[in-house]
Structure 1
Amino acid sequence: MKIESKTIEEKQVASISHIGPVENMRDLIGELISWVMKKRLEITGPPFVVYYTSPMEVAPEKMEYDVGIPFQGKITDEGKVSVKILPQHHVLSTIHQGPYQQVGSVYGMMMEHIFKEGYEIIGVPREIYMNSPGEVPESELLTEIQFPIIPESIMKDADLSIEFFNLKQNTESYNIYKIGEVKLENSKTYLKILEPYRPAIKNLVDFSHVMVFWWADKFASDRYRTALRTKLPYATNRQSGVFATRSEYRPNPIALTTCRIIEVDEKGGIIEISGMDAFEGTPVIDLKPYSPSFDRVKEPKIPKWLSFLWPQWKGEY
C-alpha cells in the first residue's frame, strides 16, 4: 500500500449532511448528482464522504457524515444541499482497491504511518469514490482515503508562515499563576493540580466537561508575542489575523480546550480528561466547568472554507 503526502487545491463542493447508517450514502450521492445536473452545473471530480464519527464508536443509526461532490458554477445553498469551499490544504493519501467492507484495515495502517512519521492530523478523514459498483466488479473498486494533516516539515518551519509586527508593548502587566500541568501517561491525559489549589476542584466531578485554560509556553517568547497574522495550516492559501484563529501565536499565549471529565481525584489533585491538545508538562492556569446555558451558541457561523473540517455541531455519544 502506497501512502503519500500531497496538496489538494481549493474547490467548491455541494454537500448534504446526514445522520444515519452509511448504507444511505449511495442514495445521498445520487441525490447530489441529480441536484447538480438539474442546476446545469459542471461536476469537476468524484463524489466523496467526510466522516465525523466512527462505526467503532457509535451505533449505525448515529453515524454522522457529509456527502459531497465538487462542481463549478455560481449557486447558493438550497434545501438540505449546502455549498462549501474546500480550501487548499495538505493530506495524507492512499488508494484502496477492493470491496468497501475491507477499507477499515487501511485506516489502521494510515494511523500507524501518521504517528510514525510525525504528522499532525487537523481534520476528519475523507473517502473519495473513484468508481462505483455499477461500473466495475467489487474487486476493482477504487477508494482514495485522505487525512488532512500538517506535514512535519511545515511544523519545523512554522516561522515562515507567521507575519511579525514591530509592536511597542504595553507596560501594564498582570500576574498569572500556574495551578497545575498536563500529564500524558499510557495514552491517557491528566491534569495534575498543584496542592495549594486542590480545594478548588471540589464538586467538579458533578460536571461532564471542563474548560481548560492553558499557557502555550513554547510560544511565550517576546518574538512570538508580536505574531499577529499567520497562514492557516488547514487552508494553506489563506492568511488570517491571530484573533481569527486558534493559533498559539498571540500577544498573550492563552489557549482554551473544552474536555470531557472522566474521573476526578480531589485528594490527589488528579483529573483524567479526554480531548486535550497540549503537550506533556504544559502549564494549566485555570479551569471552568462547561455549562450549556452560557457556553454553547445556538446558531454559530463559521467561514465556508472552514466548514469542511467539522460540522456546525458535533455531538458526543
Structure 2
Amino acid sequence: MIKTKMVPDELIAVISYTGCFKKTKKLLQELEEWLREYKVKIGGSGFVIFYTSPFEDEGRYDVGFPIEEEVEGTDRVKIVTIPKHRVLYTFYKGSGRGAAYDSLIDFVEENKIDVIGSPREIYHGSRVEIQFPII
C-alpha cells in the first residue's frame, strides 16, 4: 500500500559514504556506537539516503539516525536538519525490495507526481520503509 505523509523537521546524524551498498549496514553500526559513546539520544530507526540508484552495487549514500538533541559533529559524523517535507512511502519485508520500488515508481508516473529528492530507506527491524520526497 502506498501512502503520503508529512515528515516534520528532523535533526539527523549522518556519515556520507561512496562505495559498496553492502557496507552501509556496518556504517550504521559504527554511527550507532558513536552516538551511544557520546550519549546522544537516538530518535528513531537507522536509514540510508540514496544519491545514486538503489539497485547499483556501488553508489553514494548518507547513512544516519534521527537524533533528539543538537550535538557537535566531527569530520566523519555530520549533524544536519532535514526540513519538513511530504513523502510518498511504502513498506516491504524480505525480498520485496524491487517490487516496492517498482510500485512507487509506477504510482509516481501514473499520478504525475513530482519527486523532489533522493529516496530514503528506513530500517524498522524486519520491515523497511521506502520514502520518496514529493511536492
Normalising by structure 1, we get a TM-score of 0.41
Task: Give unmatched runs, 5+ long, in structure 1.
Answer: 132-140, 151-317
Q: Quote the residue 2:26 is aligned against.
A: 27
Q: Which of the pair has more CA radius of gyration?
A: 1
Q: What's the CA shift for 1:129?
A: 0.1
The answer to whether structure 1 residue 123 and structure 2 residue 117 are counterparts is yes
Q: Quote the residue 1:111 is aligned against.
A: 105
Paired residues for 1:182-197 under 5 Å: none
The answer to whether structure 1 residue 86 and structure 2 residue 82 are counterparts is yes
| Distance of 1:104 and 1:25 partners within structure 2 | 18
In proportion to residue count, which structure has more strand? 2
CA-atom RMSD in angstroms: 1.3
Paired residues for 1:1-317 under 5 Å: 2-54=1-53, 56=55, 60=57, 62-99=58-95, 102-131=96-125, 141-150=126-135
| Distance of 2:128 and 2:47 partners within structure 1 | 9
Q: What's the CA shift for 1:105?
A: 2.1
Is the partner of 2:65 in helix, strand or coil?
strand
Q: Quote the residue 1:204 is aligned against.
A: none
Task: Give unmatched runs, 5+ long, in structure 2.
Answer: none
| Distance of 1:104 and 1:10 partners within structure 2 | 29
Q: Percent identity?
A: 34
Q: What's the CA shift for 1:55?
A: 5.3
Is the partner of 1:16 in helix, strand or coil?
strand
| Distance of 1:55 and 1:87 partners within structure 2 | 23
| More contact order relative to length (CA 8 Å, sep ≥ 6) | 2
List, as ranges, runs of 4+ consecutive aligned residues in structure 1 with deviation greater than 3 Å: none
Per-residue CA distance 1:131-187 (angstroms, 9 max, x = gap):
1xxxxxxxxx2000000001xxxxxxxxxxxxxxxxxxxxxxxxxxxxxxxxxxxxx
For the 8 Å contact 2:40–2:67, the answer to whether it is kept is: yes
**Corresponding letter in the other structure for 2:37:** K
